[in-house]
């Protein structure tokens, strides 16, 4: 695989703030990521889903999806937040989801059907860097432990896509591992593991708040919670 440092700068990389070059890069390809998540989809709830629930739920509360809204979840995984969002928007609303893994899509489709919410939910397998939706379509967007899976130059591109598909004053909530604050021992250990075992530890801490602000969103709320002494940022903002 070609080393990202040897490639020409993308649009996202050119616009990347200086301090964000300190973020570890994601070197595995999207094909490798898709294959990895397809394999782990049946075990994802056991491996990491249960540890992420507290933070996902906190993010959903901050987003506060309402009756009748049209909401998008990017990187919906095994679908727990999709179900919660579908309950929140009610019969008059609609929830869309996009995930790179067909395995995750299949599990979530089954979960949605079992819950009797298929009419409120539309799922697709795809890349959030190229959202297949028209401009100004959504009232709100939710991302949980997903933004930090994208390589650093691509994060501004994903957030630009979110800006494009959100309506004016539409909301976004991002739950992600954060590089905010002092770098402690657990952070150093995690980043070392990401560097040495990128296929297994494929996410890494990022500057969540700054990236969202740099994408042109207006901050509404920033909450930082610790997970095993690793900071998790829950950032809520709106399109202006």
All structural domains of the chain: 28-238 (3.40.50.150)
* Block residue for tokens 């560097």: 195
Say how far apart CA 178 and CA 192 lie, in whole Å: 15
The length of the chain in residues reads 240
Model confidence, pTM = 0.86
Asked whether 146 and 75 are in contact (CB, 8 A), the reply is: yes
For residue 167, how many C-alpha atoms fall within 13 Å in the half-sphere facing its CB?
9
SS3 222: strand
Q: What is the pLDDT along the chain (240 residues), one digit of tens a residue?
A: 333 333 334 444 444 444 445 888 888 889 988 888 888 878 778 766 668 899 999 999 999 999 999 999 999 999 999 999 999 999 999 999 999 999 999 999 999 999 999 999 999 999 999 999 999 999 999 999 999 999 999 999 999 999 999 999 999 999 999 998 777 766 666 676 667 666 666 678 999 999 999 999 999 999 999 987 889 999 999 999
């Amino acid at each position: 695989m070609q080393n990202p440092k040897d490639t020409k700068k993308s649009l996202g990389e050119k616009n990347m703030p200086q301090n964000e070059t300190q973020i570890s890069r994601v070197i595995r390809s999207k094909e490798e990521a898709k294959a990895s998540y397809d394999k782990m989809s049946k075990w994802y709830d056991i491996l990491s889903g249960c540890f992420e629930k507290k933070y996902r739920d906190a993010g959903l509360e901050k987003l506060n999806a309402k009756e009748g809204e049209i909401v998008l979840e990017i990187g919906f995984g095994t679908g727990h937040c999709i179900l919660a969002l579908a309950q929140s928007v009610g019969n008059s609303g609609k929830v869309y989801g996009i995930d790179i893994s067909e395995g995750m899509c299949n599990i979530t489709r089954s979960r949605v059907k079992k819950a009797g919410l298929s009419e409120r939910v539309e799922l697709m397998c795809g890349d959030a860097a190229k959202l297949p939706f028209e401009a100004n379509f959504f009232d709100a967007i939710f991302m949980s432990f997903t933004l930090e899976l994208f390589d650093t130059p691509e994060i501004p591109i994903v957030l630009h896509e979110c800006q494009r598909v959100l309506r004016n004053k539409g909301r976004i909530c991002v739950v992600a591992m954060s590089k905010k604050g002092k770098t402690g021992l657990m952070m150093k250990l995690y980043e070392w593991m990401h560097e040495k075992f990128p296929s297994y530890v494929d996410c890494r801490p990022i500057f969540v708040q700054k990236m969202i602000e740099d994408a042109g969103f207006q901050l509404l709320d920033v909450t930082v919670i610790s997970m095993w002494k690793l900071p998790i940022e829950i950032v809520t903002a709106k399109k202006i």
